[in-house]
């Protein structure tokens, strides 16, 4: 009995000392702030900051390589909390959001054929382009809505995705998911926006979509010198210059070029014709 107790006690002492030694010898110095900062981050692991997940950003912040402003998921107060905790600047970065370069919902854009098959834009594109009359336009089957982890995209009543700018973190998942490459990431200050990718011009465009750009070039004429140029029948805004020029949208006959208003979202010019046609709802069979 006493031998057993003695043996076990010796062993326990031996292993305990080994553990103590190992703890001393193999100890890795880690900034304790990393864990704390990591817990303060939202934990969505969206990657919009450019680091592999929230832990990656926490490490970078603790090392001083990044500022809390990198995180696009947190709101202003949360960012300030993290900055105060780490004793750094917030590092204000301009908010970047995903924008869709198409306005052709089912109420304005025509379908040439009815697509039947898997309910995904990527699958539909492979079947003769998906049946929409405009080859460049949004198919409206919602791959972007499905891929958005933050539910910042919803499909409106005309099967067109709408980005909720407050929730969008510009992670870029929708940019990858869209088979027509209609999404791109833009700072919110880019308020002049061309919501069309159709490379045709004139009646060929209007036959397919009421809100397509028919390449009339009025926006390029109205914008301050050289801000907008027409390339391949589409206006291209030079965002490197001062583009605070709402005047450019006013004479657009279709409303293809829009102005992102802080309150009301995208607004069209006064000359844009009213949308009369209300198309039938289209849904792929399940």
Partner 1 sequence: MLNLVQKDSFRNGIHPPEMKDETSHLAIRRFPFAPTLVVPLSQHLGKPASPVVRAGQEVTRGQTIAEPDGFMSVAMHAPASGVVRKIALAPGIGGNMVESIYIEPHPASSQEVDDGVPCMLETSTPDEIIGAIQRAGIVGLGGAAFPTHVKLKAPEGKTLDTLIINGVECEPYLTTDHRVMLEQTADIFTGIRYLMKATGARECMVAVEANKPDAVRKLRKVCPPDLPVTVRVCPVKYPQGAEKMVIRSLLDREIPSGGLPVDVGAICVNVATTAEIGRLLPRGRGIQERVITIGGPGVEKKGNYRIPIGTTVRYALEECGASKDISRVFLGGPMMGPSVSNLDIPITKGTSGITAFTDAQMDEATGHKKIYACIHCARCVEACPLFLNPSQLGILAKKEEYERMAQEFHLMDCFECGACSYVCPSHIPLVQYFRLSKKMVRKLSAAK
Sole residue written with tokens 């594109």:
125
Within 57-96, the residues that bind partner 1 by CB under 8 A are none
CA of residue 254 relative to chain centroid, distance: 26
3-state secondary structure of 20: helix
Nearer to partner 1 by Cβ, of 112 and 281: the residue is 112
From 45-53, 56-64, 117-125, 157-165, span contacting partner 1 (CB under 8 A): 117-125
From 65-73, 93-101, 119-127, 156-164, span contacting partner 1 (CB under 8 A): 119-127
Distances in Å between the Cα of 285 and the Cα atoms of 50, 111, 114, 130, 160 are 38, 16, 11, 14, 18
Asked whether position 117 contacts partner 1 by CB under 8 A, the answer is yes
State which of residues 8, 113, 231, 236 lies at the interface with partner 1 (CB under 8 A): 113
Beta bridge partners of 192: 259
Torsion-angle region of 87 (φ positive above 0: left; ψ -120 to 50: alpha; else: beta): left
The CB-of-105 to partner 1 minimum distance in angstroms stands at: 19
Nearer to partner 1 by Cβ, of 240 and 286: the residue is 286
The answer to whether the beta carbons of residues 227 and 243 sit under 8 Å apart is yes
Sole residue written with tokens 């036959």:
207
State how far the Cα of 93 lies from the Cα of 188, in Å rounded to an integer: 11
Sole residue written with tokens 């919110």:
188
Q: Which helix (H) or strand (E) holds 235?
A: strand 234-237
Asked whether position 203 contacts partner 1 by CB under 8 A, the answer is no
The CB-of-117 to partner 1 minimum distance in angstroms stands at: 5
Asked whether position 122 contacts partner 1 by CB under 8 A, the answer is yes
From 68-76, 123-131, 213-221, 252-260, span contacting partner 1 (CB under 8 A): 123-131
Q: One symbol per residue from 181 to 200: x for binding partner 1 (CB under 8 A), - otherwise; what is it?
A: ------------------xx
The count of residues interacting with partner 1 (CB under 8 A) is: 22
- Residue 266 gets which letter from DSSP? E
Nearer to partner 1 by Cβ, of 59 and 208: the residue is 208
State how far the Cα of 139 lies from the Cα of 144, in Å rounded to an integer: 11
The CB-of-80 to partner 1 minimum distance in angstroms stands at: 37
User: Which parts of this chain interact with partner 1 (CB under 8 A)?
Assistant: 112-113, 115-118, 120, 122-123, 125-131, 133, 135, 199-200, 285-286
């Amino acid at each position: 009995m006493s031998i057993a107790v003695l043996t076990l006690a010796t062993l326990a002492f031996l292993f305990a000392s080994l553990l103590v030694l190992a703890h001393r010898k193999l100890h890795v110095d880690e900034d304790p702030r990393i864990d704390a900062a990591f817990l303060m981050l939202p934990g969505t692991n969206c990657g919009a900051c450019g680091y592999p997940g929230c832990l990656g950003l926490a490490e970078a912040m603790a090392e001083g390589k990044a500022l809390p402003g990198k995180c696009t998921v947190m709101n202003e107060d949360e960012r300030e909390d993290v900055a105060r905790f780490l004793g750094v600047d917030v590092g204000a970065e301009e908010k970047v959001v995903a924008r869709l370069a198409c306005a052709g919902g089912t109420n304005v854009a025509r379908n040439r054929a009815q697509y039947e098959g898997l309910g995904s834009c990527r699958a539909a594109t492979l079947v003769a382009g998906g049946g929409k009359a405009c080859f460049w336009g949004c198919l409206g089957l919602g791959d972007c809505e499905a891929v958005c982890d933050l539910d910042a995209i919803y499909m409106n009543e005309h099967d067109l995705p709408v980005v909720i700018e407050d929730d969008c973190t510009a992670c870029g998942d929708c940019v990858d998911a869209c088979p027509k490459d209609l999404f791109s990431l833009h700072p919110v200050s880019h308020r002049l926006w061309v919501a069309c990718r159709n490379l045709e011009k004139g009646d060929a465009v209007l036959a397919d979509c009421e809100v397509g750009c028919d390449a009339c070039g009025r926006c390029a004429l109205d914008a301050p010198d050289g801000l907008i140029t027409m390339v391949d029948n589409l206006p291209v805004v030079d965002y490197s210059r001062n583009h605070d020029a709402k005047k450019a949208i006013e004479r657009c006959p279709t409303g293809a070029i829009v102005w992102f208003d802080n309150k009301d979202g995208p607004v069209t010019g006064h000359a844009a014709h009213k949308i009369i046609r209300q198309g039938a709802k289209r849904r792929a069979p399940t």
